[in-house]
Structure 1
Amino acid sequence: MRNAITIFLSLAVLALFIGLGTWQVQRLQWKEGVLAQIDARIAADPVALPQAPDKARDTYLPVMVAGQFGGGTLRVLVSTKQAGAGYRLISPLQTDQGAILIDRGFIRVADELPPVPTGPVTIEGNLHWPDDRRSSTPDNDVAGNTWFARDLDQMADTLNTKPLLVITRQMTPPEARVLPLPVTSEGVPNRHLEYAGTWFLLALTWSVMTLTLLWRKKRRNS
């Protein structure tokens, strides 16, 4: 009787682990579909900047904006796989819809801050509302011009623009000393494969433990 109860409970727990692992595989397939949609949206043909951009509707929207840079550049600390530690450069662009924030691209930490481009420019990029801040992220050092998170409201207040950010994919004319860091889907969390592996590993471990326990009970009773 006890063996039957043990087997029943063990099978129930095993089924739970396998079920959770299968659910995570399904979530993985769903998330990969979402990422594919995001990638397609990012790479779509650019459109004019909407009159009233909306975060829920327009995140990653490819846009084309024209205007002239104003004074001031904010340095946002960032690390890239290709170039290591450096700064994103955020500057104000005066457009026919008012001043907005432009993420011009990347320079290394050791590089001197390049001057803001002069004259008319055209920028192809993507609207974005970054979520850089975590519980461990330091406060931005506004006085020292070292920013640890792209807090749009704070940046807009500092540069006297709308809290609206376009991340550059291509600028015409281009900046020789600044490397564009286009928005991608890489920052979208996708750990479902890891979670699925964890649940299936627990299922395997539980199976081995249960079989070992039953084998030992059988030896004691024989």
Structure 2
Amino acid sequence: MPGSAPSSMTFVFERNFCVGSAPSIQMYSALYAISVLPKSRPEDGSSVRCRPGVPAHCKARAYACAVSAVFQVTDRTASSESVSVAPHQRRSQTEMNTEDLSMRLPTPLLLALLGLAVAVLLGLGTWQVQRNQWKHGLVEERTASLAAPPLEAPGVLTMSAPALAWHRARLVGTWDHAHSMVLANRIRYGLKGEDLVTPLIPASGGPTILVDRGWYPETERDRVRAALDMEETANIEGLAVDATGRTARRTGQGTWTALAPESMAGWAGTPFRPWAVIQGTPTDDDSRPPSDGSLPVQRYYPFVNTTTHVQYALTWYGIAVALVAIAVARLIVAPRRARRSAPRNPE
């Protein structure tokens, strides 16, 4: 007898659907696919297929794609044409829904995956809380170091680079202008400028120390450098920084990309200490140049915590709570509603 053909459901899994999406969207989508999507059923017109770039084995089961959270589900309804369907081939919607339910991921396995996901999310949130506590301790430690009196020679010259970092240091010696180096492309106050780095030979002897003497606009290069080159002896104070392991390169214009004692020593042909000094005083606001117009600008920022660990922690905890809520809705609330609304067979 002629009748309407059943709707054809096509599940299309695509790699780039969740790329760049928030983690919560990926998690919701993954849970939906794991708990809802059926296997391929060619006999009733439904199918599961993957676009190029997605593992081929998802054609057998959609769960592989769902776990990777790289899918897109599209629902297409076949054209309603009159076809002849034999009575024994017709299936009620209740029978199809029952088969769909039987093809879902087994509840124990789904709960295990859910528990694992929640445990990982809670672990990530706790790790961010611990990182935030560690960072606050580091800020307090370095703030106290900057507030302490400056370290002076010869004691400062015997300290290791990590122990000296974020302390103020006072140095006395002689400038080695012949090996001055320029750090180019330094933007400050909306102007393109440079930092001048000059080696300082300690009065008490020992390896040379690189000193960042400050910033100046490119337009003031000749005037500033001429004034600094007139200074022969050095008696400066600044922030000591650990430059161990830093690397830099010398450009074709003769400038440098970063303050890196090891790399610069190879060019200068003389050993430098693994730490350097940024000449100047600390400031909380470097948004404007000095009011007196003095150059070079010799200021540096104290250490601050710029990483939003608390927000990251709340994000991970929030995803975990949302995942549990979705699981409860799908695995507990929805089945109860289905049982209540299901028609009862007459006794």
> TM-score per shorter chain, which class?
0.7 to 0.9
- Note if 1:203 corresponds to 2:308: no
Consecutive unaligned residues of structure 1, counting only runs of 5 or more, are none
Q: What is residue 69 of structure 1 aligned with on the other side?
A: 175
Q: Map residues 16-95 of structure 1 onto 2, 5 A cutoff.
A: 16-49=120-153, 50-72=156-178, 73-77=180-184, 79=186, 82-83=189-190, 85-95=192-202
Cα displacement string for residues 69-98 of structure 1 (whole angstroms, at most 9, x for unaligned residues): 222431213656755543221012232125
Aligned length: 212
After TM superposition, the score normalised by the length of structure 2 is: 0.51
Contact 1:106 1:180 in 2 (8 A): yes
After TM superposition, the score normalised by the length of structure 1 is: 0.75
Q: Equivalents in 2 of 1:40, 1:211: separation in Å?
A: 50
Q: Equivalents in 2 of 1:208, 1:85: separation in Å?
A: 53
Cα displacement string for residues 161-200 of structure 1 (whole angstroms, at most 9, x for unaligned residues): 5423211125xxxx931011436324x7745334313312
Identify which range, 105-114 or 10-19, moves more after superposition.
10-19
Tell me: CA distance 1:156–1:61, structure 2 relative to 1, closer, same or farther (3 Å): farther
Q: Percent identity?
A: 24
Amino acid at match of 1:196: A
Q: Map residues 46-195 of structure 1 onto 2, 5 A cutoff.
A: 46-49=150-153, 50-72=156-178, 73-77=180-184, 79=186, 82-83=189-190, 85-96=192-203, 97-98=205-206, 99-113=208-222, 114-115=224-225, 116-117=228-229, 118-130=231-243, 139-141=249-251, 143-159=252-268, 161-164=270-273, 165-170=276-281, 176-182=294-300, 184-186=302-304, 190=307, 192-195=309-312
Amino acid at match of 1:203: A
Say which structure is richer in helix.
2
> What RMSD in Å do the two structures reach over aligned CA positions?
3.3
Contact 2:209 2:272 in 1 (8 A): yes
Q: Equivalents in 2 of 1:75, 1:85: separation in Å?
A: 13
Q: Equivalents in 2 of 1:140, 1:195: separation in Å?
A: 38
The structure whose Rg is larger is 2
Consecutive unaligned residues of structure 2, counting only runs of 5 or more, are 1-105, 282-292, 341-347
